[in-house]
Amino acid sequence: MSTSAARGSIPRGPATATILPQGAPNRRNTELVLLVFAVLIPLFAYADTGLAMDGRVPAGMLEYGLGMGLFALLAHLAVRRFAPYADPLMLPIAALLNGLGLVFIWRLDKARQLARNFPAAQNQLIWTGLGIALFIGVMALLKDHRLLQRYTYSAGLVALVLLAAPAFMPTRASDFGAKIWIHVGSFSIQPGEFVKIVLSVFFAGYLMAKRDALALASRRFLGLYLPRGRDLGPIIAVWLLSLLILVFETDLGTSLLFFGVFVVMLYVATERTSWILFGLLMAGLGFWAVAATEAHVQSRITDWLHPLTAAPNGGGVGQIGQSLFALGAGGVLGTGLGQGHSWLIGFAAKSDFILGTIGEELGLAGLMALFLLYALLFERGLRTALAARDPFGKLLAVGLSGAFALQVFIVAGGVTGTIPLTGMTLPFMAQGGSSVITNWALIAILLKISDVARRPAPVPETAAEPTQVLGPS
């Protein structure tokens, strides 16, 4: 009771509207202060790693600090200029994760045992720069997220092409089984990463249009609303697509991610629990059918169930076993930056398995903090979905945040042996250009949605006006 008395004069809105119109501060200064920490913490980590591995502060310390500081500042100024009311936490968390990822990649570059690999930290820094540029670009060019709704079906088409492309590409030895890359010369991208955003746009637009039909036109059976046969079309189409990805690209992670995101968005759009049950059922069926026939999937499951079984050629345990060894070696407090042996995991130490290094060198304490950072980031995204006033924005925010959360769970779960391993990248942390760029764009879109949602007074509809590109005058 005392709480309501204290709130006293603040008028409370209806139960569904969680954002109150108020002349509240826009929290840009909070973001700036947090960003300072987000730049300083990786900087100290960088110095610590250098001291541990070489006994001196790394030579590039100043440049790195200035570079990351500049990136963060530019991103912050873009937010100030183009999305002044955006959520203040997302950018600092993303910057912190990205910075820490760079330190860990640099640290693994220095492991002599992995020296056959190319040094990746510099490339990752360049990709980070491009990611930030894309972030600023989205901030400046995407005046309102509702513009994206116009491209619903183009997005669907693009997603389909991007998803299908790797299946028709020749594989390379360096792909290690999963066909998820498109190679153009020495340049390679993982289209699955970009599709995450494009497909969310398509789902959000499509479900926006069809939600009433999906939600209302259904028969009640055993307390559940069962969908009509003709409404099952889209869900079966996405289901089949996921299975095709699984079969032809042997990419369990992407398949699981897209189907999961679709079911979540369907559930949010229709508010019908039956879709979840239906989705789970179909996912289970599909997975069971593929697992029974695909050797690739079967071996992943075997590795998951018996991670410590030594490889038949006497080469010690497999990657998951090595990853568990790394986690075990870290224990509660970790070995300290630069002082672990997670290079034993092998070629994927910098990409899929970077969590193993974090777990070994920062320990359980570090991993818990990292998981909390991720949780905070996608929960801010879901908070944005709650706050958004338009259904499209809500769905898009749910889709993007859900995809982010699922990806974190799928990759971290695989590396820690929680679920079978799938080849995915840990957002912002793992080495990989496609991933870094995509995730920065994803954060930018979420920030744009949150800007609209948190704006004190509802803005007039601008979607109908012709698009106008504003240069930084």
Partner 1 sequence: MNKPIRRVSVFCLVLVLALMIRVNYVQGVQASSLNKNANNKRGLIEAYSYPRGQIIVGGKPVTKDIEVDGNTYKYKRGYTDGAVYAPVTGFSSQVYGSNLLENVENPILSGNDSRLFIRNTLDLLTGKPKQGGDVVTTIDPKVQQAAYTAFTSAGKKGAAVALDPTTGAILGLVSVPSYDPGTIAGSDNQAAWTSLNADKSQPMLNRALRQTYPPGSTFKLITSAAALENGVITDINAKTVSPDPYTLPQTTTTLPNEAGDNCLNVSMNDALRVSCNTVFAKIGDEVGNAKMAAEAERFGFNSSSLTIPVGVTKSNYDTNINRPSNALSSVGQFDTRATPLQMAMVAAAIANNGTLMKPYLVAQERSANVNVIDTTKPTVLSQATTPQVAQEIQTMMVNVVQNGTGTPAQISGATVGGKTGTAQHGENNSDNPYAWFVSYAKMGDKQIAVAVVVEDSNAQRDEISGSGLAAPIAKKMMEAGLGK
Residue 25 or residue 328: which is nearer to partner 1 going by CB?
328
CA gap 113, 133 in Å, rounded: 34
The three-class DSSP label of residue 70 is helix
User: What is the closest distance, in whole angstroms, from the C-beta atom of residue 133 to partner 1 in the complex?
Assistant: 29
Residue 6 or residue 332: which is nearer to partner 1 going by CB?
332
User: What is the closest distance, in whole angstroms, from the C-beta atom of residue 382 to partner 1 in the complex?
Assistant: 4
CA gap 366, 352 in Å, rounded: 18
Residue 406 or residue 444: which is nearer to partner 1 going by CB?
406
Cα 391–Cα 393–Cα 398 angle in degrees, nearest 5 = 95
Q: Among candidates 356, 442, 452, 451, which has minimal Cα distance to 405? A: 442
Residue 240 or residue 375: which is nearer to partner 1 going by CB?
375
User: What is the closest distance, in whole angstroms, from the C-beta atom of residue 259 to partner 1 in the complex?
Assistant: 15
CA gap 23, 29 in Å, rounded: 16
User: No. of H helices and E strands in the chain?
Assistant: 16, 4
The three-class DSSP label of residue 310 is strand
Q: Among candidates 309, 241, 231, which has minimal Cα distance to 275? A: 231
Q: Among candidates 365, 346, 335, which has minimal Cα distance to 53? A: 335
Q: Among candidates 242, 240, 241, 224, which has minimal Cα distance to 278? A: 224
CA gap 152, 185 in Å, rounded: 31
The three-class DSSP label of residue 226 is strand
User: What is the closest distance, in whole angstroms, from the C-beta atom of residue 413 to partner 1 in the complex?
Assistant: 6
Strands 218-221 and 224-227: antiparallel
CA gap 400, 197 in Å, rounded: 7
User: What is the closest distance, in whole angstroms, from the C-beta atom of residue 355 to partner 1 in the complex?
Assistant: 9
Residue 29 or residue 418: which is nearer to partner 1 going by CB?
418
Using CA atoms of 377, 119, 122, 421 in order, give the dihedral in degrees to the nearest 10.
-20
User: What is the closest distance, in whole angstroms, from the C-beta atom of residue 151 to partner 1 in the complex?
Assistant: 22
User: What is the closest distance, in whole angstroms, from the C-beta atom of residue 450 to partner 1 in the complex?
Assistant: 14
User: What is the closest distance, in whole angstroms, from the C-beta atom of residue 312 to partner 1 in the complex?
Assistant: 13
Residue 249 or residue 390: which is nearer to partner 1 going by CB?
390
User: What is the closest distance, in whole angstroms, from the C-beta atom of residue 401 to partner 1 in the complex?
Assistant: 8
Contact residues for partner 1, defined by CB under 8 A: 16, 18, 112-113, 264, 267-269, 271, 308, 310, 316-317, 321, 324-325, 327-332, 341, 344, 359, 363-364, 367-368, 371-372, 374-375, 378-379, 382-383, 385-386, 391, 394-395, 398, 401-402, 405-406, 408-409, 412-413, 416-418
Residue 131 or residue 427: which is nearer to partner 1 going by CB?
427
Cα 361–Cα 366–Cα 368 angle in degrees, nearest 5 = 140
Q: How many CB atoms lie within 10 A of CB 386?
A: 14
Amino acid at the residue 274:
S
Residue 66 or residue 376: which is nearer to partner 1 going by CB?
376
Tally of CA atoms within 13 A in the half-sphere of 140 that contains its CB: 16
Residue 18 or residue 467: which is nearer to partner 1 going by CB?
18
User: What is the closest distance, in whole angstroms, from the C-beta atom of residue 115 to partner 1 in the complex?
Assistant: 8
Residue 68 or residue 387: which is nearer to partner 1 going by CB?
387
